[in-house]
Chain A
Amino acid sequence: MGVEGIGARVVRKEDKRFITGKGRYVDDIKLTGMTHAHFIRSPHAHAKVKGIDSSAALKMPGVVAVLTGKQLVDDKVGNLICGWAITSKDGSPMKMGAWPAMAPETVRFVGQAVAVVIAESKNLARDAAEAVVVDYEELPAVADMQAAIKAGAPQLHPEAPGNQVYDWVIGDEGATDAAFAKAANVVKLDVTNNRLAPNAMEPRAAIADYDAAEEHFTLYTTSQNPHVARLVLSAFYNIAPEHKLRVIAPDVGGGFGSKIFIYPEEMVALWASKKVGRPVKWTGDRTEAFLTDAHGRDHITHAEMAFDANNKIIGLKVKTYANFGAYMSLFSSSVPTYLYATLLSGQYNIPAIHAEVVGVYTNTTPVDAYRGAGRPEASYLIERLMETAARQLKVDPAELRRSNFITQFPHQTPVIMAYDTGDFNASLDAAMKAIDYAGFPARKAKAKADGKLRGIGVSCYIEACGIAPSKAVGSLGAGVGLWESAEVRVNPVGTIEILTGSHSHGQGHETTFCQLVAERLGIPISQVSIVHGDTDKVQFGMGTYGSRSAAVGLTAILKAMEKMESKAKKIAAHALEASEADIVIENGEFKVTGTDKAIALPMVALAAYTAHNLPDGMEPGLKESAFYDPTNFTFPAGTYICELEVDPGTGKTSFVNFVAADDFGRLINPMIVEGQVHGGLVQGIGQALLEHAIYDANGQPVTASFMDYAMPRADDVPSFNLSHTTTLCPGNPLGIKGCGEAGAIGASAAVINAITDAIGKNTLEMPATPDRVWRTIHAA
C-alpha cells in the first residue's frame, strides 16, 4: 500500500470545495435569460381537475407562461415509466396506472403538479401561482394500505382493480408448508416497516436550456445517474433524441436513492424551455421535497418461522403488503420484490422459504428505493423474527443466530441469491467482544438499581450489493443492464483523468477512485482527476446506487487501467529496448525488472502522443476504456449490537453503546468507509426512533416539514464503535463488497431488539417514540 494507495486513510479531495462553500450545485448555476418555474400542486389527495384559469396570472408582472397538464399531454410528452416488469403469481403483468408529468384530469396525491408558472423570478412565479384558479372536484381518497385493499375502497387507477399493483410470489410453497407441518416450534410476527422521507440536504433542482438553432437541450439536474436520465428522457418521454440532449449532474448534495428517478419537474422544465424559448430553472423547497421526493419503505408484513426440536430454522413464510403510493416510480416495482424477498434468508441456513408480496396503490407520495431499498425491510423482518424466536424458545439471541448461520460458501438460498463468501461468526464474535456481551447482565442489574431499563439488541444483516449482473437482472424483469463503464485518459504530460459512469453525491469518489490509480502507478492522487456527471464528457454509464460504485464502477476503472498499462508497458519496453514482460510499474516509473533502467510515466505518455518512436503498428495516444459487468451480486454482511437504556418515566431511549462489525471485503479508504457506516447507522436509528412520514385518513400529509418529521440530529445518536472483519469478495478482482447501505440496513433491528429487551415486551412498532415506548411499558 502506498501512502495514497488502497487502504490509506486519505483525506477527501472534494472536501476543500464543499467545506469552503465552493461546491457547484444546480441552484448555483445561472444562465443568461433564465426564467424560473413554480409548480402549482394539488392540495387534495384525490380530485378531478375540472379546469384551470390562468388568465389573471398571465397578466401579473414578470409572468412568461402558465403551462398545464393538458398542454403537456397534447404535446405528446410521455407518461412516467417504471423500469422493472414484475409478473403476478397468476401470470399477469403488473398493473400500472398512467402518470403524466402534470395531471391533466386527475390528481392522486397531495403535491402532484397540475400546472407550472414560468416567470422572471421565483418570487414572481410564486405570486402568479396564487392567481391561478384550479377547479378541483374532490374524490374520496385512501391513504392507508389496509383500507385501500378492502372492497369498496376508493379506486385510484382504472388499470388496477382493487388498487393492486401485483401479487407476486417467490420460493417453494409446497416445501415450505411441509417444513411447517413437521415443525417443533413456530414463531409468528407482525411488523410494520415505517414510511420514510429521504431528505437529502440539497433539494431536487433542474435547469433546462433549449437551443433552437441546434435543436439541442441541456439539462442540469440533481441526479445519481445522468445517463439513465438521458436515456429515459429520450426513449420514453419524447423530449429529444439522445444526441440532442446533454444531462449534467454537477455537485449533488446527497441522494440516498431519491435522486435515481426521473421526476416530473425535470421533464416539465425541458418541455417548458422549448415552449418559452428560454432556460427554465426549478429548485424545490423542503416542503416540495417532503411531498414529491419518492418515499421509502412502508411495508406491513406477517411472517412465520418454523424451527425443529434443535432450534434449527426449517422454514419461513412471509406475506408483505407494500405501499406504492399513487403511482409506480421508476424502480418501485423491484424494491419490495427482487431487492427484498431475495434477502429473506438473512445470514441463516433456511431450507425452505415462501414469500408473497402484494403491491398497493394509495393516495400518497410514490414510494421507491431509499438507502438499502428492500434490504432494510428484509433484514429488519428477519432480525426481529430471530429475536422473537430467541425469546419464545428461551435461548440466547446471539447463540440462536450462531447455531443457524450459513458457514459453507458458496451458499445457494431458496430465494435466488447465491452467497459467494462470508464469515458470519467472525463478525458476531467481534461485535460481542466489542460490546462485552458477557458483561451485560451485570450492567443491566446496575442500571435497574438506578431506575433505568437497560436492553441489548443484536442484528446480523446481509445485503446484496454491487448491483448487478445484467443478465441475471434482465431475466428477472429489469429494463436496463447494470454494468458500469470507465475511461482512463493519460494526458501527454502524464497526468491522468478517469472518466466514470458512477456519480458521486457524497460518497467521495474523487478520492477513492484516485487511490486505485495511485496504488497501481505509484503516483500521488494530486496527479489524477475524476470526471463524472456529464453525458457529453463521459461515455454511457449507469450511475450510483445499490452500493455499486466501488464493486462495479471501480472495477471498470481497473479494467481500463489494465488496458492502458499494457499499452504503456509496450511503449516503455520499446523505449528501453527491453522485453515487455520485464517491465514493472513502480513509483510512477516503468522499470526493467532487476536493472536500474527506467522511464517515467510522463515520458511514456509523451512518447504515446508525439508518436515519434512507437512500436511498429501501434496507434498513438494513451487512452483506454472498459465496460465491466459483474458476475454476481456482492454480499456485505455484519453484526450490529446496540445497548441502551429506557427511562420508564418518559419512555425515552438513551444509547449506551453501539458496535458495528462489518465485512465489506477490501476497503479502499477506511475513513470514507467509516463515514458511510456512520451515515447509514444514523439513518437506521432515525427509522427506529424518530422518522415517520404520516398521512391522515384523507391522504393529507401530517409530516411535511422538519417541525413534524423528526430527522436524527447529532445528539440523538451515540458515538459508534466500528470494526471490520474481512473476507474478500471473490466476484471482483479488487475483492470489494460495498459499504454504502449497510448501516441503514442493519441498525434499526438492533435498536428495536434492544428496546424490547429493555422493557420486556416484544411488540413495538417503529418509530419507537418515547410516547409509544411509554405506552408499551404501561400497557396491561
Chain B
Amino acid sequence: MYQTTYHRASSVDEAVSLFGKSSEAKFLAGGQTLLPVMKQRLAAPSDVIDLGKIKELQGVELSGDVLTIKAATTYYDIMTNADVKKAIPAIAYLTSVLGDPAVRYRGTIGGSIANNDPAADFPAALLALGATVKTNKRSISADDFFKGLFTTALEDGEIITAVSFPVPAKAGYEKMRHPASRFALTGVFVAQTKSGEVRVAATGASQSGVMRVPAIEAALKANWSPSAIDNVTISASGLLADIHGTAEYRANLVKVMAQRAVAAAR
C-alpha cells in the first residue's frame, strides 16, 4: 500500500469538504473493494475519507411502500433487519449469499453500487426493483445510475446517501456463485411491482454490466411462472466468458436463475 492519509468523517458535509480539500481522495465504506485494490498498489489515493461512522448514512427505514437503506449500512445489518425481511425478503436473501461472513460484516450497499462490479449482486436488485439512488446532490433512478463496467452516474466527490426501493408485489433472487470469488457467475433478480409491471435484471452475465432482460420480462408479464420462461432463448452474444463460465453457459444461467428466482419469489 502506498502512503495515504486517513480521515474519519462525522457527517456527509464534512466528508464533502474533506474531499474538496485533498488532491486525490477516495471515500471508504466497508473497504472490501477499495482496501484490497490499495494493498495491491492498483489505487493510490492521497486521502481516504471514511464514511463508515457517519450516523446519517446508517440504518433502514420502511415508510409505507418504500424501503430505504442508508448507504453505509452493512450487508449483515441489511440481512438481519426486520423491515427488510418483511418488505423485500429477496434483498435479505441476496445479502445472505453475498461474499462470506467477513465481507458481509464490513461491505455496504453504497460501496457495492458505487463500485458497480459487473458481477456484484446489489445492482441487479436495484435495477429489477426500479430503485432510486439518493446522493448528497440528487436522486437518480437505477435505470440511469448504472453505466457499464465499474461506471456509474456519480460525479466526482458525490456521495450516495441512501437507496430507496418501492416495495414490490413479489420479488426473488437466485445466483450461481463464482466458484473462486463467490461473486455472481450469474445472478437474476425478478420483481413484479404492485402495479403489475415485471422487471428482471441479470448480473455477472453481460460484458456491459448489470442488464435488464426484456425477453424474460415479456414472458413473465404474460404468465408469472417459471415455465413461462421455458421457451425463451437468451443470446450468448455480448455475454462475459472466462475460465469459470463460457458465454453460452451464462446465457443458460440467465434463464435458469430467472426460473428459480420466480419459483422463490415472495
Contact = CB atoms under 8 A, between A and B. Distances in A.
Nearest to A712: B179
Contact of B249 (A692, A708, A709, A771): A771
29 contacts: A123-B1, A127-B2, A649-B259, A650-B253, A651-B249, A652-B176, A690-B179, A690-B180, A702-B243, A703-B180, A703-B243, A706-B180, A707-B181, A710-B179, A710-B180, A710-B244, A711-B180, A716-B179, A769-B244, A769-B245, A770-B176, A770-B179, A770-B185, A770-B245, A771-B245, A771-B249, A775-B246, A775-B248, A775-B249
A756 to B, nearest CB: 19
Interface of B: 1-2, 40-41, 176, 179-181, 185, 243-246, 248-249, 252-253, 256, 259-260
A708 B245 contact: no
Interface pairs A-B: 7 shortest CB-CB = A710-B180, A710-B179, A771-B249, A649-B256, A707-B181, A771-B245, A708-B180
Tell me if A's interface is mostly helix, strand, loop or mixed.
loop
Contact of B252 (A287, A769, A774): A774
A769 B185 CA distance: 12
A126 B1 CA distance: 9
B243 A694 contact: yes
Tell which of B2, B41, B246, B252 has the most Cβ of chain A within 10 Å. B252
Tell which of A126, A702, A774 has the most Cβ of chain B within 10 Å. A774
A707 B256 contact: no
A287 B185 CA distance: 23
A775 B256 CA distance: 14
Contacts of A771: 244-246, 249
Contact of B256 (A650, A694, A710, A769): A650
Contacts of B246: 771, 775
A707 B180 CA distance: 5
B240 to A, nearest CB: 12
Contacts of A650: 176, 252-253, 256
B118 to A, nearest CB: 13
A475 B244 CA distance: 45
B48 to A, nearest CB: 16
B184 to A, nearest CB: 13
Tell which of B1, B181, B259, B260 has the most Cβ of chain A within 10 Å. B181
Interface of A: 123, 126-127, 287, 649-652, 689-690, 692, 694, 702-703, 706-711, 716, 769-771, 774-775
Nearest to A130: B41
Given A649-B256, A769-B244, A771-B249, A708 B176 contact: no
Contacts of B259: 649
A650 B179 CA distance: 13
A588 to B, nearest CB: 47
Nearest to B260: A649
B33 to A, nearest CB: 11
A36 to B, nearest CB: 15
Contacts of B179: 689-690, 710, 716, 769-770
B180 A774 contact: no
Tell which of B1, B179, B243, B256 has the most Cβ of chain A within 10 Å. B179
Nearest to B245: A771
Contacts of A710: 179-180, 244
A111 to B, nearest CB: 15
Given A650-B252, A771-B244, 12 more contacts: A123-B1, A126-B41, A692-B243, A703-B243, A707-B180, A708-B180, A709-B180, A710-B179, A716-B179, A771-B245, A771-B246, A774-B249
A767 to B, nearest CB: 8
A203 to B, nearest CB: 14
A702 B242 CA distance: 10
A690 B252 CA distance: 20
Contacts of A690: 179-180
B225 to A, nearest CB: 16
Contacts of B1: 123
Nearest to B253: A650
Contacts of A707: 180-181
A694 B1 CA distance: 27
Contacts of B40: 287
A291 to B, nearest CB: 14
Nearest to B1: A123
Contacts of A649: 252, 256, 259-260
B5 to A, nearest CB: 15
Contacts of A127: 2
A143 to B, nearest CB: 14
A770 B244 CA distance: 8
A287 B39 CA distance: 12
A703 B246 CA distance: 16
Given A771-B246, A774-B249, A775-B248, A708 B256 contact: no
Contacts of B2: 127
Nearest to A651: B249
A690 B244 CA distance: 9
A452 to B, nearest CB: 14
Nearest to A690: B179
Nearest to B41: A126
B227 to A, nearest CB: 13
Contacts of B256: 649-650
A509 B180 CA distance: 32
